[in-house]
Amino acid sequence: MSKQATLAKHKQEPHELTPREIVRELDKYIIGQDNAKKSVAIALRNRWRRLQVPEHLREEIMPNNIIMIGPTGVGKTEIARRLAKLANAPFLKVEATKFTEVGYVGRDVESMIRDLTEIAVNMVKAEKTAEVQEKARVQAEERILDILLPPLRRTRHAETTETTEQREEENDKTRDRFRQMLRAGQLDDRTIELDLPTPQIPLMQVMGPLSLEEMGINIQEMLGNILPKKEKRRKFTVAEARVILTQEEAQKMIDIEKATKEAIKRVENSGIVFLDEIDKIASARGQASAGPDVSREGVQRDLLPIVEGSSVTTKYGMVKTDHILFIASGAFHVSKPSDLIPELQGRFPIRVELQSLTESDFVKILTLPQNALIKQYSALLATEGITLEFDEKAVREIAKTAYEVNEQVENIGARRLHTILTTLLEELLYEAPNGDIPTRVVVTEKMVKEKLSSIVKNRDLSRYIL
């Protein structure tokens, strides 16, 4: 492909957001944490830049893997998740603690690449399906019409050509009429019969923990392709049939092989793996390590080739991990990034610290993001015909309470806002929609204080409730 063509191709993709634009997008969901946003924005843009670089250099440019360090509930996962959405990139979040060293029972680290590939394949398939949706719907409609009005049998001997033509014309008219009724949903409740492939008998259950899935092989699919497909006739309403047949038609229109190839390319060039709890596999070095520490180090060692770049076998084919972006994250309360084995530290060159959230952050988190909690609850209650509003002082009081409980009991960051709001609104959420509840509820500072102060004052109580 010429350079211009490459450029043109990538112009269409969301990667073209500049770092500043990426941060601006992230700002819509995450309050503060500017450094972390900047780092991930640069990492994302660098991937796009890499694709524009001449080929011989392109392969040399490594992703800026990042370690995000910060207490719980301050936005680490949220930043990574939003970033992946922005980039339309295959995204996988895994806990580092989930893995065991190769050779032990449990998930090996390569499985994350297989999972990521699976996600990418589904993503591409969904996109392709959406593209052909309209065509598939029309095809499905025709198939339903075929069932409702079986096509005419051609020329009977006794008939003249004229009468055949006449009959065909009439038939077309009827078909048009039925098509209109079908589109208007007037036939939705009718029952029709469809011949559908019967579901395969699950075979995998008998396999042990070291299943073939781990090797990226799916017996069921292999057998499924060998064994003849059985069909079974079943009854459906027209409405159901439309959904089923549209799906079936869409499947037929998608070139699975091409979709798979595209998915693998997408994993390789824009996949993002979010490795949570990385601090939990770091062990204080220098101390005589034994037992779990040894195996934690083993997991770290297993991670090295994947993070640095290797080929992993998946059931869709080989996947090169060289340019997958890894974002590791952890609180690092007990261990430090320097407790990771040096080789792994070296593969995560960028460190960003996220800050503990303040009271004024909480005020913003409650109100500003597109998915802000207050907006969520207002939307929930709107479905019951209740307008829920919070006056400014009430919001500040909630933020203050969240901050205090975090200080006094345990700092769980923005998640505290969830627990506080559910406690605050419990009665309303329970009673709605009840005649006694006014159609407009304004939460005031006084209400917040009344509801929460007794709980906050009692440390034991707040430990359980908030």
Q: Which residues bind ligand ATP (CB under 6 A)?
A: 30-33, 72-78, 276, 331, 365, 369, 413-415
Spatial neighbors of 285 by CB under 8 A, at least 6 apart, are: 339, 341
d(CA 103, CA 100): 8
Out of Mg ion, ligand ATP, none, what residue 245 binds, judged by CB under 5 to 8 A for its kind, is none
Note whether 97 binds Mg ion by CB under 5 A.
no
Whether omega for the bond prior to residue 90 falls within 30 degrees of 0, making it cis, is no
Closer to ligand ATP by CB, 38 or 190: give it. 38
Q: Closest separation between CB of residue 54 and ligand ATP, Å?
A: 38
- Count CB-CB contacts under 10 A for residue 40: 30
Query: Of 72-80, 97-105, 123-131, 208-216, which part binds Mg ion (CB under 5 A)?
Result: 72-80
Contact assessment for residue 418 and residue 401, using Cβ atoms and an 8 Å cutoff: no
Closer to ligand ATP by CB, 409 or 447: give it. 409
Contact assessment for residue 140 and residue 245, using Cβ atoms and an 8 Å cutoff: yes
Query: Of 74-82, 135-143, 290-298, 429-437, which part binds Mg ion (CB under 5 A)?
Result: 74-82
Q: Closest separation between CB of residue 210 and Mg ion, Å?
A: 29
Selected from 19, 35, 61, 77, the binder of Mg ion by CB under 5 A is 77
d(CA 129, CA 147): 24
Closer to Mg ion by CB, 275 or 405: give it. 275
Out of ligand ATP, Mg ion, none, what residue 32 binds, judged by CB under 5 to 8 A for its kind, is ligand ATP
Out of ligand ATP, Mg ion, none, what residue 240 binds, judged by CB under 5 to 8 A for its kind, is none
Closer to Mg ion by CB, 328 or 455: give it. 328
Q: Closest separation between CB of residue 440 and Mg ion, Å?
A: 37
Query: Of 70-78, 118-126, 134-142, 429-437, which part binds Mg ion (CB under 5 A)?
Result: 70-78
Closer to ligand ATP by CB, 97 or 311: give it. 97
Question: 413: left (phi > 0), else alpha (psi -120 to 50), else beta?
Answer: left
Out of ligand ATP, Mg ion, none, what residue 327 binds, judged by CB under 5 to 8 A for its kind, is none
Q: Which long-range contacts (CB under 8 A, 24 or more apart) does 211-214 make?
A: 214/107, 214/108, 214/111
Structure tokens at 343: 């080789």
Closer to ligand ATP by CB, 32 or 298: give it. 32
Scored b (16 or more CB within 10 A) or e, 305-340 reads ebbbeeebebbbeebbbbbbbbbbbbbbeebebebb
Note whether 129 binds Mg ion by CB under 5 A.
no
d(CA 288, CA 419): 41
d(CA 372, CA 388): 14
Note whether 289 binds Mg ion by CB under 5 A.
no
Closer to Mg ion by CB, 50 or 93: give it. 93
Spatial neighbors of 448 by CB under 8 A, at least 6 apart, are: 394, 397, 398, 401, 424
Note whether 220 binds Mg ion by CB under 5 A.
no
Chain residues in the site for Mg ion (CB under 5 A): 76-77
